Structures are given as structure tokens and as C-alpha cells.
Amino acid sequence: MTTNLEPSFGGRRVLVTGGAGFVGGALVHRLVAAGARVTVLDDLFTGRRETVPAQAEFVEGSVTDQELVRDLVRHASVVFHMAARNIIASTKNPRDDFEANIGGTLNVLLAARESGPERVVYTSSTSVYGNPRTIPINEDDQVVALSPYAVSKFSGELYCHAFYESYGLPVSVVRYSNVYGPGQRPDNPYCGVVSKFLTSARAGEPLGVHGDGEQTRDFTYIDDAVEATLLAATHPRAEGEVFNVGTGIETSVNQLARLVCTAMERPCEIMHIDRRDVDNIRRRVVNIEKARRMLRWSPQVTLDHGLAKTVEWFLREGFVVSADEP
């Protein structure tokens, strides 16, 4: 079930940083469909201009540009701050990660403190939990940052909390867990594992699984992630809160590879390859009861169904990029 957004966003000015990316683009499409007047700020590091619908205003620029951010936030009633360097780019270049993920977030919050939007939603990541002591992971469980990306995303959360407590800025935080689905393009060198597996399966190449493949994740369909993000922007109880956004279902990467092969309706070979620096989290599955209770949100798309819909989109788009190419 999806929320009727028109009463909340119809005619209102909304800023989405990172709105040319995978999740940001999906959010922008929902907002435009609801009649919102959307402005997208994106530096196109991983985003694509074509992702942004024609009805939205597009500004090419970075959240590291303090004056630009100040000007754009000044005109917005709601701000979705989604711009960030992802985990792979962050690990390669921690300084860029610091400037974009931490400095950019501070720029957004400073601008919002000055102009006073009705809500700022900050998109974080379940990467902040590291290797949890217990499963499933609750929002108030210990944070153990094992990557520069996790450090910067949690730092952004801390700034959000500080601005909420110190200045009364209405902020909500959502922690995404392995979002996948239509729109996650395999020709993006930083795309997720589902897109990489689909590319390999279509090319008739082995599906490369880093390590032994028994590491687990909580895979979240794009529409469910967007729905939770919108509720975090509109629900009065979301202010000042942090919410896990996942499914509560633990899936190993080996299982995911087999499910992708089934969804593609072809036999696949699974090949185990070297573990990467970013593959340092063994198990991840989140408790989503807080979002169920406070936002009345729950995921609607199972992994089987989500993969089927993703395959349909993937084949319709006709991607031909090799799994070994960017």
C-alpha cells in the first residue's frame, strides 16, 4: 500500500540533494507525481541527468558548495538530503567522503537552521552498525563504524541530532539497508550487487561472489525504501527519530545469487572471488518494528517479487555492459 502524497506535497517546494541517483531519482518521481515543485541538486558523480523527470528543476552542483546549498534550501518547505559518496568511493578516497558526506550534511543543516523548513530528512545507512552483537539490529544498538563511509554517515546523523536538540530543527533519519530494484543501473561502476549479478547472468558469465558468500544482508526494494522516506518527512512522530528501513529478513549473498538465477530463468555458475575491503560485515538484518509502530510502515515487496520486477526492468532496458566493465 502506498501513501496518498498529494495532501502532503501537492504544490509545495521540495529540495532533494542527490536526486539524480538511484534512490533519490525514485523519490523525485514520486514527489513529482504528487504535484510537488521539486528541485534536484546533484553533482552527477554517480547520478544521471536523465534520471530527473522533466517536471523537476535540475541544478548541477555539490552539497559542498555552501552558498549554493544555502540558496536552494532557503526556498524549500521540505528537504531530503540524500547526496553522498557511496561506500566504495568513500573507501577509495576518504577525504572526498569527509567533504561530501560530513561537510555537505553540515552545509544543509546550517542552511536549514537559517531558513526553517518544515522537515529535513537525512538518509543514512545500516553500515553504521558494523558487525552487530545481536540479530536483528535495533536503532539503539551499538554503532561500530568499520569504513570511512560508515564514519561519515553516522557523523551526519550526529549532526542531525545535535541540530534537533540545540536549535529545534525538525529532522528525521532513515537508515537504508541494501536497497535494490528498477533504476539501479549496472553501467554505474558503483551499483549494487543485484545489478552486478543480473549483468553477469545475462552475459552468461559466472556470478562473482566475494568471499565465501555466507555473509548476509537485508535487501530492501526501492519502492519500500521510498515509502519509508516519505513517511519520515510527513509523520509528526518521526521528528527527531531514527528508523531502520529494511525487511527484517536475512539473506546470504549465495542465496541472493541463486535467486537472481531463478528470476532470470537460466542456469548460472557462482564463482567465489577475493573479499574486498568493504566486505567486512558478516551479518546484517534490521529490526523494523519501530517504523511499523511509529510510521505505520512495513515493506510490501518480497525479495522474490522484487527481483522479478527488477529483471523485467533490466531486460526491457536492454543493458549490454559486460560484468567486468564499468
The catalytic site residues sit at 149
DSSP, collapsed to helix, strand or coil, labels residue 201 as helix
CA distance 270 to 135: 27
Neighbour count for residue 131 (Cβ, 10 Å): 11
CA distance 108 to 64: 9
Which of 259, 79, 75 lies closest to 163 in space, CA to CA? 79
16 contacts 38 by C-beta, under 8 angstroms:
yes
The phi-psi region of residue 186 (left if phi > 0; otherwise alpha if psi is between -120 and 50; otherwise beta) is alpha
